[in-house]
Structure formats: structure tokens, C-alpha cells
Amino acid sequence: QHLNKSYNTDVPLVLMNSFNTDDDTKKILQKYSHSRVKIYTFNQSRYPRINKETLLPIAKDVSYSGENTECWYPPGHGDIYASFYNSGLLDNLIGEGKEYIFVSNIDNLGATVDLYILNHLMNPPNGKRCEFVMEVTNKTRADVKGGTLTQYENKLRLVEIAQVPKAHVDEFKSVSKFKIFNTNNLWIALSAIKRLQEKNAIDMEIIVNPKTLDGGLNVIQLETAVGAAIKSFENSLGINVPRSRFLPVKTTSDLLLVMSNLYSLNAGSLTMSEKREFPTVPLVKLGSSFTKVQDYLRRFESIPDMLELDHLTVSGDVTFGKNVSLKGTVIIIANHGDRIDIPAGALLENKIVSGNLRILDH
């Protein structure tokens, strides 16, 4: 909305749903029917889960209801190319004169339209346009599982941890050997997607994802990753971007960081507070009592001040009163059966709080 207003333009928002998220998304989008953004949705494919022993689909028929619900899965974000093409939306956008899509994971709150990258796409220094740009960023010890870029037979390739033989996993995780990882912020030429899709020429490695269903049945899901298609496009490029463009919220530990005073929301972009002395985020590990959003929200009367926090570990039945400040390294561990209530207004700086609310210097 901010982009369209600032540049008097009409950039649409496109959401790829699965059959699991489609209805919920439609409900939420009703709120935004009058916003200055055209919002399109399309659904990705529905694939049958495969019995690990027999290698046959576990579905009895193609219906998606009742006991058959568990039989299907969405096959990963690599499915975007085929589903976008099949939905008819790709052709519509090309017909409107659109040239590139910017793709990102929906949980990456750092993914915003970067005009420097867009300018590089439209006015390449060597005169040859890129069909595919992957934003990568420097790896820290917190990102050892992220996919990395390699060059093979004069093409860029994405290598994911799932593709690495066990004997080489530690080498793959090395911060000094593989210095960057894929943020999954991608800029892709629409005409190239159409060309490759029509030739059936998008080649992505298949990731075998073993799962155990609630009833104990072992199944496998075959999935693909959107970035793996980089080798099928011409003149691909990796661009090293600041860490601020990678801010995923996958857990309540991540959510705590973005809800805190470390960040403020400016015109749809999260920016880190200037009051924080160094630009890295604290390491936060909230225990299993905080896993579900409703439990997490119930345990914080207000979000603590975290501007000077380096590390927070919380385990067990812990609640936080209003206006708590956390600084340095704070470790709070409630023993099984005990509960710890951090009182309103408390300042914990380099403290270990354990069992029966003894507060020790760290």
C-alpha cells in the first residue's frame, strides 16, 4: 500500500495458498477489500501422501474430506511455477505489462520491495537482463541449516541441507566454508517462467520428506523448493543483502523479538531501533509452554523491554508481569510442578532465575 501510494503505481499482492490455508486467507482478505492494493490468490497443488512401505498413495479416492484429509499434502514452495502458470494469473500479469515478480516466504517480515535491486534488474550493468535473482545474506551460527549457492557446470545451483550426505553435514554448516545462505527472497522474470513452464524445462531436485501421521503410519512426501529452479534460468545472480531483509517469524521466540521495542513498524517495514547499540538480534529460546500463540500471549502481561538483551532462555511454567526489563543474559527455569511469576516492573540483568524464584547473578 505504501509503495503504491508513494510512487502512484499499482503493484498487486499475490498469495499462494494451499488447501489448508485457502479458506482462512479468504476470510482475512475481506477486511482489506478497500485497500489500495489488488490482492490475488491462487492455490498450489494437492499431492497424495505415499505409504513408506508399499510406495503407494494412501488415499482411497480423490476426495478431500473425512478420513481422507490426512492423505494429501501441499508439495513445497517449488510448486509455485506450475501452479502460478496453471491458475491463469501468470498470463494475466504478463498481459498487463508486468515483467518481474518478487517472491518471498510469507513469514519473512524483512522482505520488502528493494528499489536498488529492481533498478539493477531493469538496467543491468552488462546490458544483459537477469531472469532470476536470489537474495543471500551472511551466515551466522544461527543459520547453519540455510541453503547455499554453488556454481556447477557454469550455472548457479541451490544446495539444501537435506541434499547433503550425512558425512558432509558439518562441513555444509561451517560458517567459514559456506559464508552465505538463501533468504528465499527471489526476483524472477515472468516471461522466463512462462517459457520454461511451456517447455516443461524447470528442473528441481526432489526433497524426500518422511512423516509419521497421528495414527503412527509412516509416509513420505515428495517436495521441491522454489530456489532450486535457479539453474534452469538464464543469467542468474545471487545478491548479498543486509541481514535486515531476512526476518522470519516461524516460532513464538521470533514473534517476541518483532513485538518488542527492538523493532518499530514504519510504512509496512520493520526497522530495528536506533537505541540498540549493535544491530544483531538477541538469541531467544522460549520453552514448550510458549509454543502456541494463545499460551504465549497469556504469559506476557506486556512485552518486556529487550533493547539491551543478548540472550534469553525460558523453560517451564513462567509468566511475566507488566513493564519487565531484560538485559544481558537472562535464564529462567521453573522446575516441573513449580511456577515462576516475574513481578511487574522487574529488571533482570545477567540473572539466572530457577526453581523456587531464587534470583542469582549470571
- Candidate list 26, 250, 285, 292, residue with the active-site label: 250
Q: Minimal CA–CA distance to 187: which of 123, 114, 270?
A: 114
- Does residue 128 carry a catalytic annotation? no
Position 362 confidence tier, pLDDT thresholds 50, 70, 90: low
Cβ–Cβ < 8 Å for 226, 193:
no
Q: Provide the pLDDT for residue 360.
A: 53
**Phi and psi based region of residue 41 (left: phi greater than 0; alpha: psi -120 to 50; beta: remaining):** beta
Calculate the average pLDDT of the chain: 92
Can you give the pLDDT at residue 327?
Answer: 96
Question: What digits encode the pLDDT tens for the residues 257-304?
Answer: 999 999 998 888 898 998 998 878 899 999 999 999 999 999 999 999
- 143 versus 91: which is more confidently predicted? 91
Please report the pLDDT score of residue 281 as a whole number: 87
Give 94-101 contacts, CB < 8 A, sequence gap 24+. 94/190, 94/191, 94/194, 98/190, 99/189, 99/190, 99/191, 100/187, 100/188, 100/189, 100/190, 101/14, 101/187, 101/188, 101/190, 101/193
How is residue 233 annotated by DSSP?
S
pLDDT in tens, 183-232: 999 999 999 999 999 999 999 999 899 999 988 999 999 999 999 999 99
Choose among 270, 284, 316, 347: nearest CA to 110: 270
In the sheet that 309-315 helps form, which strands lie side by side, from edge to edge?
Answer: 283-286, 309-315, 325-333, 347-354, 358-361
Buried b (16+ CB within 10 A) or exposed e, 59-91: beeeeeeeeeebbbbbbbbbbbbbbbbebebbe
Write the pLDDT tens digit of every residue in 14-43: 999 999 899 999 999 999 988 889 999 999
User: For 307-356, how does the pLDDT look when each residue is reduced to its tens digit (9 = 90+)?
Assistant: 999 999 999 999 999 999 999 999 999 988 889 999 999 999 999 998 76
Q: Over 70: is that where the pLDDT of 146 sits?
A: yes
**Local confidence band at 359 (pLDDT 50, 70, 90 cut-offs):** low
Other residues' Cβ atoms within 10 Å of the Cβ of residue 158:
24
Domains in the chain (CATH in brackets) are: 44-245 (3.90.550.10), 252-354 (2.160.10.10)
